[in-house]
């Protein structure tokens, strides 16, 4: 037995005129025009177009059986290996919400980059109720809460490896013996908000239960426990060939669950921090779902990692504004072998580029220098500016040409607007000290013909007046200069003699 299939295909693309000696790409059979109801000779019907052609396939009965068997096997495999294929809740199909909007359409959470502490870089999986509460108390005694670090966020590894018989995530009974509700109550008493972690896949990155297919259940549990923020990771996600959702769909599921819970409970939505590692350009779409989005892979406590992250974010700094911020990852200030100047550069870049600021170092061993960096009120004030939500941007690349993508030598000259003047960041990406010079009007925010008072945001000193240009001498290797320039009136008359 054989089956004959006739396929009609249209070839897209530019058409060309046939040479006189060239035959059209059509089968010369009488059946062609008959099948299509057209007259090839006189141009009637689809066969007149040389971009249409006919393909005849002959399949044996054995071939059909093999194809059918493969399709049935694939369907069975997909059903048993990935039950989500047939059990996706309707919430995954609804349009992406903005979970920071209340019922009246007003933003309610995440206007400014959040600040606080995250357990991961300091403790990884070695976390416990005792460590979290002791760290929270140290945040208070070190004055960190007073300068704005008002979140205590648990990362991975806080739960049991299996859900309860009823399907809930269960806090690890040995490490969190008093339960999560007790923990959040104690954090709230200290003046802190509480953050928790989950994952958009079957499992977290450390193989604890993830929230895929349990979004509504888990976010309700987290709210009942008293948490105010959710960090949502990107490990163990189901194959898209099976669930047909795409990366945005996986995060939309939890965003919808957060929005639905806020409507039902009458409470403000949980702050939603997407940890998608920047692989699918979340700075383009994540604002519709949450308030922060990771832009890169995980940070490390060394200069090459910091330099690479600064470079990546130099091209997308436009994406940060009120209620939506590029997340450059947890701070490594106080960790690894970073020099004092590298740590200052790290903190300055993260703060002025309006990233969330999350400490993650052992506060029981923190040095005076590290504490001074983390509590620089003048730098923090730029990050938490209530009037201007945008980030600083490069106005000159320095050692490289404009718009050069160079992970080891990112842009060096940056500026941006603030409620109190124009902010400048000069970043020495070289391995040796260097003078750094720029004309004031290279910045978009500076007016020609004006002079500007200069405030150093690290020495906390007023350094006179700048007219037309500025030079920072011998900026340390991998070091930074952070300035605030304020309009101080017209240039002196002697500067205008050549006009």
- Residue 157, in any domain of the structure: yes
Structure confidence at residue 97 as a pLDDT band (50, 70, 90) = low
On whether both 27 and 117 belong to a single domain, the answer is no
pLDDT over 60 at 74, yes or no: no
- Residue 69, in any domain of the structure: no
Report strand pairing: 151-153 vs 115-118.
parallel
On whether both 325 and 176 belong to a single domain, the answer is yes
Please say whether the beta carbons of 417 and 445 come within 8 A. yes
On whether both 183 and 312 belong to a single domain, the answer is yes
CATH number at residue 245: 3.20.20.70
Would residue 146 show up in a list of annotated catalytic residues for this protein? no
On whether both 24 and 154 belong to a single domain, the answer is no
On whether both 27 and 149 belong to a single domain, the answer is no
Would residue 298 show up in a list of annotated catalytic residues for this protein? yes
On whether both 357 and 407 belong to a single domain, the answer is no
- Which of 298, 321, 362, 456 is catalytic? The answer is 298
- Residue 399, in any domain of the structure: yes
| CA torsion through residues 343, 346, 350, 356, sign | negative
Query: Pick the residue with more confidence: 203 or 100?
Result: 203
- Residue 382, in any domain of the structure: no
- Residue 50, in any domain of the structure: yes
On whether both 246 and 129 belong to a single domain, the answer is yes
Which of 474, 407, 465, 403 lies closest to 437, judged by CA?
A: 474
On whether both 359 and 403 belong to a single domain, the answer is no
- Which of 233, 260, 329, 385 is catalytic? The answer is 233
Give the total number of structural domains in the chain. 3
pLDDT tens track for 247-278: 888 899 999 999 999 999 999 999 999 999 99
CATH number at residue 476: 2.60.40.1180
Q: What's the pLDDT score for residue 89?
A: 45
Cα angle 141, 145, 149; round to 5: 135
On whether both 317 and 183 belong to a single domain, the answer is yes
- Residue 228, in any domain of the structure: yes
Q: Which domain holds residue 13?
A: 2-62
pLDDT over 50 at 493, yes or no: yes
Q: What's the pLDDT score for residue 107?
A: 83
On whether both 263 and 356 belong to a single domain, the answer is yes
How far apart CA 128 and CA 175 sit, in angstroms, is 5
pLDDT tens track for 292-344: 999 999 999 999 999 999 999 999 999 999 999 999 999 999 999 999 999 99
On whether both 221 and 350 belong to a single domain, the answer is yes
- Residue 374, in any domain of the structure: no
The HSE-up count of residue 16 (CA atoms within 13 Å, CB side) is 6
On whether both 19 and 129 belong to a single domain, the answer is no
Percent of the chain topping pLDDT 90: 74
- Residue 416, in any domain of the structure: yes
């Amino acid at each position: 037995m054989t089956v004959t299939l006739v396929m009609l295909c249209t070839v897209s693309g530019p058409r060309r005129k046939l040479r006189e000696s060239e035959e059209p790409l059509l089968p010369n059979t009488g059946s062609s025009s008959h099948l299509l109801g057209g007259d090839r000779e006189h141009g009637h019907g689809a066969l007149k177009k040389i971009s249409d052609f006919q393909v005849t396939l002959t399949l044996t009965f054995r071939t059909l059986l093999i194809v059918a068997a493969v399709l049935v096997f694939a369907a069975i495999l997909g059903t048993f290996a990935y039950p989500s294929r047939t059990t996706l809740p309707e919430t995954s199909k609804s349009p992406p919400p903005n979970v920071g909007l209340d019922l009246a359409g007003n933003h309610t959470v995440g206007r400014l980059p959040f600040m606080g502490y995250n357990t991961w870089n300091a403790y990884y999986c070695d976390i416990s109720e005792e460590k979290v509460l002791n760290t929270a108390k140290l945040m208070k005694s070190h004055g960190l809460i007073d300068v704005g670090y008002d979140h205590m966020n648990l990362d991975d590894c806080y739960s049991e490896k299996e859900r309860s018989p009823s399907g809930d995530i269960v806090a690890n009974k040995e490490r969190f013996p008093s339960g999560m509700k007790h923990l959040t109550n104690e954090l709230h008493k200290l003046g802190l908000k509480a953050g928790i972690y989950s994952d958009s896949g079957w499992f977290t990155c450390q193989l604890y239960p993830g929230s895929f297919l349990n979004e509504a259940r888990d976010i309700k549990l987290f709210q009942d426990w008293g948490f105010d923020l959710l960090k949502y990771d990107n490990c163990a996600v189901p194959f898209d060939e099976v669930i047909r959702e795409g990366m945005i769909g996986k995060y939309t599921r939890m965003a919808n669950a957060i929005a639905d819970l806020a409507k039902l409970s009458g409470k403000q939505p949980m702050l939603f921090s997407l940890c998608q590692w920047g692989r699918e350009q979340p700075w383009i779409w994540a604002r519709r779902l949450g308030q922060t989005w990771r832009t890169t892979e995980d940070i490390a406590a060394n200069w090459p990692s910091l330099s690479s992250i600064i470079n990546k974010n130099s091209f997308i700094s436009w994406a940060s504004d009120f209620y939506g911020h590029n997340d450059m990852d947890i701070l490594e200030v106080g960790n690894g072998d970073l020099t004092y100047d590298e740590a200052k550069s790290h903190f300055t870049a993260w703060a002025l580029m309006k990233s969330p600021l999350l400490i993650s170092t052992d506060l029981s061993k923190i040095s005076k220098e590290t504490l001074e960096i983390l509590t620089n009120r003048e730098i923090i004030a730029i990050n938490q500016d209530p009037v201007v939500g945008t980030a600083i941007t490069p106005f000159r690349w320095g050692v490289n040409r404009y718009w050069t993508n160079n992970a080891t030598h990112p842009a060096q000259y940056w500026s941006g607007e603030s409620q109190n003047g124009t902010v400048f960041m000069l970043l020495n990406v070289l391995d040796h000290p260097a003078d750094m010079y720029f004309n004031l009007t290279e910045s978009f925010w500076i007016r020609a013909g004006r002079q500007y008072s200069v405030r150093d945001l690290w020495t906390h000193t007023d350094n006179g007046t700048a007219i037309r240009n500025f030079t920072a001498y011998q900026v340390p290797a991998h070091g930074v200069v952070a300035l605030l320039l304020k309009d101080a009136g017209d240039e002196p008359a002697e500067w205008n003699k050549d006009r």
